[in-house]
Amino acid sequence: MAQRMDADVGYDELAVLKLLALDGGLRGEVKVSCSDLAGRLDASNQTASRRLQALEDAGFVERDLVTDGQLVDITDAGERALQHEYEDYRRIFDGPTDVTLHGTVTGGMGEGRHYISLSGYNRQFNEKLGYDPYPGTLNVELTEQSRRERAAMERLDAVPIDAWEDEERTYGSASCYPCTVENTEGDAFAPAHVIVPDRTHHDESKLEIIAPEKLRDELGLVDDDTVAVRVTPRED
């Protein structure tokens, strides 16, 4: 839990972020005075001010000082931090459920093929996923909403792919989330896995998917086609 937060952002700061969000901070700027915040936190003005500063340093809020206080806006990173908390509570009370992410098929750098074929990974895919993956990753550009919901996927248990090395270099670890891939005609393909490499050129807006078959052929997909990726909780 703590490792996914910035060093200076812990639960005390998250509590402040939550208050800001309750005041409407996800929808626009909210007016904040440190003394009011301090009262609600049952803490000193100094403490309230320090926590706001930590949130700003972590990039979770943006602030504008005005004469009688400050205008505070929660950033996308701040929203993601809250979303992680929300997902934890949802999981506590509801248990794990499917997470469906939406996006469009895109071409990438043609590197997926190389990595999937490497023996150090390939051996693990066969053993741990139970299939020999098609050499490549289907890249999916997520919609804005699905970018936010990605946090829910990452709270599910993943199949861990371990780091390894050959004579020349080391290769990073990765997480595989079991999924079903669906096209807009309602055709579905499984088994498949969303693969999240620890080292990647892609940002949060892209998903990479592996499967035993070429998904473009199985589901008749071309660039810009819409797909739904239903990530299912692990059964074991």
Ligand X SMILES: Nc1ccn([C@@H]2O[C@H](COP(=O)(O)OP(=O)(O)O)[C@@H](O)[C@H]2O)c(=O)n1
- Cα distance between residue 140 and residue 182, in whole Å: 12
| 139 touching Mg ion, by CB under 5 A | yes
Task: List all residues 6 or more positions away from 233 whose beta carbon is below 8 Å from its beta carbon.
Answer: 96, 97, 98, 156, 157
- Is 123 a binding residue for ligand FMN by CB under 6 A? The answer is no
**CA 199 vs CA 37, 172, 219: distances in Å:** 39, 6, 28
What's the min distance (Å) between Cβ of 83 and ligand FMN?
A: 24
Is 213 assigned a ligand-binding role in the annotation?
yes
Alpha-carbon gap, residue 28 to 73, rounded angstroms: 6
Q: Which of 153, 142, 152 is nearest to 203 (CA)?
A: 142
In the chain, % helix, strand, coil (3-state, to 5) comes to 35, 30, 35
Among 14, 30, 55, 115, binds ligand FMN (CB under 6 A): 115
Could you say which residues in the range 97-156 bind ligand X, by CB under 6 A?
Answer: 107-110, 112-113, 134, 136-139
Is 216 labelled a binding residue? yes
Is 195 a binding residue for ligand FMN by CB under 6 A? The answer is yes
10 is annotated as contributing to ligand binding: no
Can you list the pairs that 74-79 forms with residues at least 24 positions away whose Cβ atoms lie under 8 Å? 74/17, 74/20, 74/21, 74/25, 74/26, 78/17, 78/25, 79/26, 79/148
Q: Which residue is nearest to Mg ion (CB)?
A: 112
Q: How far is the CB of 175 from ligand X (least distance, A)?
A: 17
Q: What are phi and psi of 31, to 5 degrees?
A: -85, 130
Contact assessment for residue 61 and residue 72, using Cβ atoms and an 8 Å cutoff: yes
Site string for ligand FMN, 93-112 (x = CB under 6 A): ---------------xxxxx
Span from 33-41, 54-62, 93-101, 115-123 in contact with ligand FMN (CB under 6 A): 115-123
- Minimum gap (Å) between residue 199 Cβ and ligand FMN: 4
50 vs 102 by CB, closer to ligand X = 102
215 binds, among ligand FMN, Mg ion, ligand X, none (CB under 5 to 8 A by kind): ligand X
Quick count: other Cβ atoms within 10 Å of Cβ 131? 15
Q: Closer to ligand X at the Cβ: 81 or 129?
A: 129
State the residues that interact with ligand X by CB under 6 A: 107-110, 112-113, 134, 136-139, 210-211, 214-216
